[in-house]
Amino acid sequence: MSDTHSKPSGPDLLAGIPSEQLAEGHSIAGRVGDQAVLVARSGGRCHAIGATCSHYGGPLAEGIIVDGTVRCPWHHAAFRLDTGEPDRPPALDALPCWEVSEADGVVRVVSREPRMPATRRRTPSARPDSVLIIGAGAAGVEAAVTLRREGYDGRITMADADPDAPVDRPNLSKDYLAGTAQEEWVTLRTPDFFRDNDITFERNRQVVDLDVRARRARLDTGAELAYDALLLATGASPIRLPLPGEGQRQPFTLRSLADSRAIIQAATTAGPGARVVVIGASFIGLEVAASLRARGLEVHVVAPESRPLERVLGPELGDLVHRVHVEHGVVFHLGQKPRELVSGAVILENGDRIPTTFVVAGVGVRPNVELAERAGLTLDRGVLVDAQLRTSAPNVFAAGDVARYPDPRTGEKIRVEHWVAAQRQAQTAARNILGAEERFMAIPFFWSAHYDLSISYAGHAERWDVIDIDGSLEARDCEVRYMSDGRALATVTIGRDRANLEAELMMERESALAGSAR
């Protein structure tokens, strides 16, 4: 995370800037006293809001202006310029606003103190008496936030079996695991949030049975919860490798705050220089490897593929990621799987023995569909939903890792395991619970950090014909497009955050055209 409290730079916006410097669709970062402020012109009007994203502190002046919002270049959050409200995840919190005037060829902020805008309440076209949200991860929390922001004043109940929920899961394998983020940064929403928004949160409670006809859910305590509308946001669970090895501790997995704490405890107990084996060269496995290297451990990665992440990023980027990890001291054992665990070691299929203090497995996740299956919902490698994120049962929606939905660009059914995608699905599902009849059209986006290498990915490409590379991988300055039939299905950028925003916007507009044609 960035320090958003450093002294701001740029022009004094109380004194003002020439109107000609602020073109339509552009922004300028400046200051009002000791506060960083962004002025922007959109739709012929000038606005002033906080200049740093409330998610991780990204510089909004390096983003883009779209339809009355500014989009953050780091993780693609968006804020309304007129109110400061978060319009798109991953940001949850609003930005302060200032009054602006434009006269005699000068744009200036006319108030030294900002105002925090009141949420603009809307009138839902439908109003269920109660909404139950099962799961308090990215999708569950965003759905609750959206319901209240959209003006819903009925009963909201959330339930999650994780005693630490909700947490900022992307941080668990990155800064928090590396020891560079405080634990309070990991908390997504405090108990005060649920109280202030009149949300009943059944934390550390598992929904064990769901009757979609009677519209009732039963908790592991035996208590029953009635609902009028339901959102399934049950997420996914890490795949566990039951390796042979009687009496040996099985590999750690990483999904929850408790998982991350356990790995940190093992790393701290082992101490710098101790060896750890990471099974799996997935994003999560490699982020764990980078974080444990930051703690001074010797890291060995075992994976069956010939290069990391080739299936997702292709050979060129896969080689770059591999090279970056090797440069930071990671030892790879590619083309190999673990065969068994023995005391203090992992035995590979080829017979090699890797001594280790502990093992972490990052080999993927499985959607948590058991509850949906028992309830009789239609499944297809996830909970099958339509373009409005409705399941096969009336008034039951699904969002996040568990949902398989129609890709608005291709029409294919896809399931996307990204934090931001889960939040954006939850926004659409919440609005549809309130009668919006809105198609889910957002473009998948995720980011991954490996030491000083940051990768931004917009779109969805399970296969491609050609990989088009603009720029230099070696210089960490490139835009990589995954092409099929002459169009880009996905774009990866390194060192070109604005280009990633622009690629996402282009794909959004393409989706809108494709959606209107269906």
Three-class SS string for 248-294?
Answer: CCCCECCCCHHHHHHHHHHHHHHCCCCEEEEECCCHHHHHHHHHHHH
Q: What is the DSSP letter of 386?
A: -
Rg, the chain, Cα only: 24
Separation CA 356–CA 499 (nearest Å): 42
How many residues does the structure list for the chain?
518
Is the Cα torsion angle 390, 396, 397, 403 positive or negative in sign?
negative
Per-residue pLDDT of the chain (518 residues; tens, 9 = 90+): 444 456 788 999 999 999 999 999 999 999 999 999 999 999 999 999 999 999 999 999 999 999 999 999 999 999 999 999 999 999 999 999 999 999 999 999 999 889 876 665 667 778 999 999 999 999 999 999 999 999 999 999 999 999 999 999 999 999 999 999 999 889 999 999 999 999 999 999 999 999 999 999 999 999 999 999 999 999 999 999 888 886 778 999 999 999 999 999 999 999 999 999 999 999 999 999 999 999 999 999 999 999 999 999 999 999 999 999 999 999 999 999 999 999 999 999 999 999 999 999 999 999 999 999 999 999 999 999 999 999 999 999 999 999 999 999 999 999 999 999 999 999 999 999 999 999 999 999 999 999 999 999 999 999 999 999 999 999 999 999 999 999 999 999 999 999 999 999 999 999 888 766 65
Contacts of 494 by beta carbon, 8 Å cutoff, 6+ apart: 453, 454, 455, 456, 473, 476, 477, 478, 480
pTM of the predicted structure, to 2 decimals: 0.94
Using CA atoms, how far apart are residues 472 and 478, in angstroms rounded to an integer?
5
CA distance 180 to 290: 12
447 bridge partner residues:
456
Tokens of 392: 């096969």
User: How crowded is residue 213: how many other Cβ atoms within 10 Å of its Cβ?
Assistant: 9
Question: Within 13 Å of residue 484, how many CA atoms lie on the same side as its CB?
Answer: 11
> Residue 350 in contact with residue 338, Cβ under 8 Å?
no
434 vs 59, 150, 157, 228, 428, CA distance in Å?
34, 8, 16, 11, 10
Hey, which bits of 95-244 come out as E strands? 97-98, 100-103, 106-109, 130-134, 155-160, 199-203, 207-211, 216-219, 224-226, 229-232, 236-238
Sheet holding 403-406, edge to edge: 383-384, 403-406, 413-414
The residue type found at 112 is R
> What sign has the CA pseudo-torsion 248, 238, 462, 467?
negative
Residue type, 325: H
Q: Closest by alpha carbon to 27, among 49, 4, 5, 54?
A: 49
Give CA separation, 462 vs 193, 314, 417, 490, in Å: 38, 11, 13, 9
Closest CA to 356 of 342, 344, 343: 344
pLDDT of the residue at 279: 98
* Helix (H/G/I), strand (E/B), else coil: 418: coil
**82-88 contacts at long range (C-beta below 8 A, 24 or more positions apart):** 82/45, 82/47, 83/117, 83/120, 84/49, 84/50, 84/116, 84/117, 85/117, 85/119, 85/120, 85/149, 86/54, 88/424, 88/427, 88/442
Give, as one character, the DSSP assignment of residue 512.
Answer: H
Evaluate whether 10 touches 30 at the Cβ level (below 8 Å): yes
pLDDT of residue 4: 44
